[in-house]
Amino acid sequence: MKKLIAVAGLALQTAGCVLPPQGELAMTCTDFIGKPISDRIAAFGPPQTVVRLSPTRVGYTFVAKTTTLSGGAVYYTTNYLVRVDKHRTPVYAMTTTCRGTFIVRAPSDATPLDQRIIVDVVT
């Protein structure tokens, strides 16, 4: 019983030492509010539709899909009579979709894209 408590205590101490994941964290569509629409056009490509919603607002509709592969980690099983076997977890695709209409403030059609700031996102 004392060994079990010692192992559990050691596991709790090392659990706090886990490093944060590397790389950029995924952003949601609402994280782009306050940024110019030109950034979204550069990232997602041309919008599917552009609609004038009011005299001062324009809606840009985008559908962006990102596919990442997850899994493939190595793990080992032990057969004490023969050897240690090396296996891999299954690899699966995970698709993230950002679909929505970015609403920007554009008083006129002559306003450059880098000056059209996203004020709302409708998903």
What whole-number distance in Å separates Cα of residue 96 and Cα of residue 24?
15
Strands 84-88 and 74-78, sheet pairing: antiparallel
**Each residue's pLDDT tens digit, 18-39:** 434 443 434 566 778 898 999 8
pTM of the model: 0.53
43-100 pLDDT, tens digit per residue, is 878 888 999 999 999 999 888 777 888 888 888 888 777 788 888 888 888 877 767 8
2 three-class SS: helix
